Amino acid sequence: MLRLKIGRGAPQEFVVTVLPPIGECSHPGGQTIDEIALAIKAGVADANAALNTDYMVEAAAIVENDTRQRGIYEYLTRKILEKAAASEES
């Protein structure tokens, strides 16, 4: 799960909050919070380039027992911003 608070304008630093686990599964290892923040920033940059927009992240949150696999947070960020852009167009 990835929750983003997005805005418009120049990129800024943001905090990735870790929410309590959901369910009883456990996925040790995976990306660190700093690596997840970098992945989110990369997803924003990719989406902004593709959509010709200026989205930025004000805050982010993940669930403690997410798998934290490489690539997933960048992908989810792009999809969230694509959805936001589509909502603005309609």
Q: What pLDDT score was predicted for residue 67? A: 81
Residue 64 gets which letter from DSSP? T
Q: What pLDDT score was predicted for residue 7? A: 97
Please state the φ and ψ torsions of residue 15, each to the nearest 5 degrees.
Answer: -100, 140
- Tens place of pLDDT per residue across the chain (90 aa): 999 999 999 999 999 999 988 888 877 778 899 999 999 999 999 999 999 999 999 999 999 988 888 899 999 999 999 999 999 987
Residue range of the domain that includes 42: 2-89
Number of structural domains found in the chain: 1
Q: Are 88 and 53 in contact (CB under 8 A)?
A: no
Q: What pLDDT score was predicted for residue 6? A: 98
Helix or strand run (H / E) with residue 28: none
Q: What distances in angstroms separate CA 81 from CA 21, 24, 59, one per listed residue?
A: 25, 30, 14
* CA 62, 65, 70, 76 torsion-angle sign: negative
